[in-house]
Amino acid sequence: MSVRDTLVRSISLIAVILMMAATISAQNRSGGGAPPSANGAPSDIIAALEAASPNRVLQRTYFKTENTGFINLTTTFVNAFTDTVVNCPGAAGTTCTVAVTVSSQFGQISGTDVARARVFVNGTLTPPGDSCCLNLSRNAGVAPQTNTMTFVKTGVPVGNRVVRVQFALRDGPTGYADFRTLEIRVLKP
């Protein structure tokens, strides 16, 4: 192997290591979560942390699509869609699960920034995500990237409930969201 080949491989390896370090650093900031520090096997850790919602029956579905309006993003959260009123049917004292799937293209986001999303169901921040939100996009430079996540809220009381979806940037200063879709599913146990 020539010195030139060795040098090219070394530089490539360093670039990969730096990209991994930057990704890990970004994920540990608010909105990206933090890896668990438990000592169990990975499957034990996942089982202990996940929130399963088995045996749900679809009751209602709501859709919205935005194909013409750009949203300029900053570090201040803005509504990605108009609020959606959904109905959780059933007798008093029963509850529903509301699953909200959000997809959007994000663009012109700097190489060290990410777009964030948060969903409120009945005024309550909906998982996944931390106490702020969820980092939804990778740093979409000139070419927009489409990203999707489903947020799930269990224990929603019967009746009409408001679903709100918001976007922002983690660090700013600018970026945008353009083509986007929203699907809301109301399910009963």
Mean pLDDT for 4-24 is: 45
Question: What percentage of residues in the chain have a pLDDT greater than 90?
Answer: 50
Strand partners, 79: 166
Is 2.60.120.1120 the CATH number for 55-188?
yes
pLDDT in tens, 43-88: 666 666 666 767 889 999 999 999 888 899 999 999 999 999 999 9
Least confident of 59-73, 88-102, 136-150: 136-150
pTM: 0.75
Backbone angles phi, psi at 153, to 5 degrees: -115, 120
Higher pLDDT among residues 160 and 17, named by residue: 160
Higher pLDDT among residues 103 and 42, named by residue: 103
Instruction: Please count the other Cβ atoms lying within 10 Å of the Cβ belonging to residue 86.
Output: 22
For residue 166, the model assigns a pLDDT of 97
Higher pLDDT among residues 20 and 96, named by residue: 96
For residue 63, the model assigns a pLDDT of 97
What residue ranges do the domains of the chain occupy?
1-30, 55-188
